[in-house]
């Protein structure tokens, strides 16, 4: 029977792994992720979850253990943060290149040095080009739903790629919210057992992902790109089907809020998207036509949807909880790139906010929106990238 529980996003991620009937979990603790794998350990030890729980000596080993298990044909899960994720970097390429649909919760935490345990997207965004699909969640319900949806997506034969389900440390990870957990039988109907694209077989041994000559390598890369494009088509369909069955939908690739008549659209990712909605409501009371577009999926990037939003809006504002040093926020770069070959595309202003866990409230976003509107009216972006609330 479906039930509503009140718990942290980390524990909810554990509930989702259990509901997805994950068979192998390889775990290494790191703040703020630790309580994800602690919850799963509790489920496995108490017999509530039928899974092999592998305690490894590093995050690199955690990912490699997941690769081995997925290659043996079972559904796998792990979770990590920041330095743990970056230590996995090499293995992340192996997972996607071997086309193994591993799902990993990334509890976003800013990268050191200097040390931080608070959230920004510098950990997961630095893994942009590893061939992993990336989701960013705005609340605990979305964490649960996205993990279930992601298995469905990644295990589709048109995709066969791994995915990160990203959630910001502390803002979500350690915050209690009510979450609806659907009936297990209904989840099983939605998410059938995993059928791999290829499987290790002791009776017919082979090695996988071996050396390929220049004559063959490009095609394997192209097939990953193709799979990403397929994922882009499937994500909204899966989200819609999930919503029909279980009552919660999250906007597919981009969660749009009051964008239809907006002349200014605020682009965010993760929890800033929830704050942006509150800001939009307040701005609307002042009769300012502002909308919010929360990019839920960063890879594959929703180029077409961003392009469609540009048909009416005069100005796009991106708010990045990340900085690509020497350039700008990644979201700013991607949004601009999505518009480049489009006629009469809007101005794009980039704002950097909330690094290392600094609060980004609806008031912060309101302030950003008002500054953007000023630039929109004069028809000139005065500053390509503006750092919000920066000490002088």
Q: Which residues bind other proteins (CB under 8 A)?
A: 97-99, 160, 197-198, 204-212, 216, 219-220, 222-223
Report the distance separating Cα 42 and Cα 37, nearest Å. 9
Residue 299 CB neighbour total at 10 angstroms: 23
**Cβ distance 276 to 268 under 8 Å?**
yes
| Tokens at 46, concatenated | 């108490």
Q: Which is nearer to other proteins, 92 or 167 (CB)?
A: 92
CB of 303 to other proteins, least distance (A): 23
Phi-psi region of 349 (alpha: psi -120 to 50; beta: other; left: phi over 0): beta
Q: Which is nearer to other proteins, 99 or 232 (CB)?
A: 99
CB of 324 to other proteins, least distance (A): 30
Q: Which is nearer to other proteins, 209 or 385 (CB)?
A: 209
Helix orientation angle between 9-19 and 140-154, rounded to the nearest 10 degrees? 30
Q: Which is nearer to other proteins, 213 or 341 (CB)?
A: 213
CB of 206 to other proteins, least distance (A): 5
| Tokens at 137, concatenated | 């969640």
| Tokens at 91, concatenated | 């293995």
CB of 198 to other proteins, least distance (A): 6
Report the distance separating Cα 178 and Cα 309, nearest Å. 32
CB of 96 to other proteins, least distance (A): 10
CB of 204 to other proteins, least distance (A): 7
CB of 219 to other proteins, least distance (A): 5
- Three-state secondary-structure class, residue 9: helix
DSSP 141-195: HHHHHHHHHHHHHHTSTTT---EEEEEETTTTTT-EEEEEE--HHHHHHHSPPP-
Rounded (5°) CA angle 308-149-91: 95
**Cβ distance 39 to 65 under 8 Å?**
no
Rounded (5°) CA angle 197-201-205: 115
Residues 6+ apart with CB under 8 A from 126: 86, 111
Q: Which is nearer to other proteins, 31 or 209 (CB)?
A: 209
Q: Which is nearer to other proteins, 47 or 205 (CB)?
A: 205
Q: Which is nearer to other proteins, 160 or 267 (CB)?
A: 160
Residues 6+ apart with CB under 8 A from 115: none
- Three-state secondary-structure class, residue 246: helix
Q: Which is nearer to other proteins, 206 or 325 (CB)?
A: 206
CB of 223 to other proteins, least distance (A): 7
Q: Roughly how many angstroms between the first and final C-alpha of the chain, as a whole number?
A: 55
Residue 277 CB neighbour total at 10 angstroms: 19
Q: Which is nearer to other proteins, 93 or 282 (CB)?
A: 93
CB of 227 to other proteins, least distance (A): 9
Q: Which is nearer to other proteins, 222 or 387 (CB)?
A: 222
- Three-state secondary-structure class, residue 30: coil
CB of 95 to other proteins, least distance (A): 11
Distances (CA, A) of 255 to 59, 108, 188, 204, 283: 32, 20, 26, 46, 18
């Amino acid at each position: 029977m479906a039930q509503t529980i009140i718990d942290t996003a980390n524990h909810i991620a554990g509930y989702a792994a259990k509901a997805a009937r994950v068979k192998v979990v390889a775990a290494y603790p790191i703040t703020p992720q630790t309580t994800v794998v602690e919850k799963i350990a509790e489920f496995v030890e108490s017999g509530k979850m039928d899974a092999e729980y592998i305690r490894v000596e590093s995050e690199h080993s955690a990912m490699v253990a997941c690769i081995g298990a997925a290659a043996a044909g079972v559904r796998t899960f792990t979770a990590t943060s920041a330095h743990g994720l970056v230590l996995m970097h090499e293995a992340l390429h192996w997972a996607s290149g071997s086309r193994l649909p591993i799902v990993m919760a990334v509890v976003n935490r800013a990268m050191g040095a200097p040390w931080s345990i608070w959230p920004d997207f510098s950990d997961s965004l630095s893994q942009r080009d590893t061939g992993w699909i990336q989701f960013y969640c705005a609340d605990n319900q979305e964490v649960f739903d996205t993990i279930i949806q992601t298995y469905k997506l990644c295990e589709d034969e048109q995709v066969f790629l791994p995915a990160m389900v990203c959630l910001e440390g502390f803002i979500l990870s350690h915050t209690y919210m009510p979450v609806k957990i659907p009936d297990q039988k209904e989840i099983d109907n939605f998410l059938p057992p995993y059928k791999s694209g290829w499987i290790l077989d002791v009776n017919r041994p082979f090695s996988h992902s071996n050396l390929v000559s220049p004559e063959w390598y490009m095609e394997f890369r192209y097939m990953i790109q193709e799979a990403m494009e397929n994922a882009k088509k499937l994500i909204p369909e899966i989200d819609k089907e999930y919503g029909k069955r279980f009552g919660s939908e999250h906007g597919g690739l981009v969660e749009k809020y009051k964008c239809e008549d907006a002349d200014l659209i605020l682009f965010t990712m993760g929890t800033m998207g929830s704050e942006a909605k509150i800001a939009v409501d307040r701005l609307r009371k002042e009769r300012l036509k502002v909308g919010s577009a929360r990019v839920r999926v960063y890879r594959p990037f929703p180029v077409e949807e961003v392009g469609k939003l540009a048909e009416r809006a005069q100005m796009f504002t991106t708010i990045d909880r990340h900085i690509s040093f020497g350039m700008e926020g990644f979201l700013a770069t991607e949004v601009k790139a999505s518009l480049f070959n489009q006629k009469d595309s809007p101005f794009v202003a980039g704002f950097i906010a909330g690094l290392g866990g600094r609060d980004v409230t609806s008031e912060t976003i309101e302030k950003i929106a008002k500054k953007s509107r000023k630039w929109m009216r004069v028809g000139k972006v005065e500053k390509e990238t503006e750092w919000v609330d920066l000490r002088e």
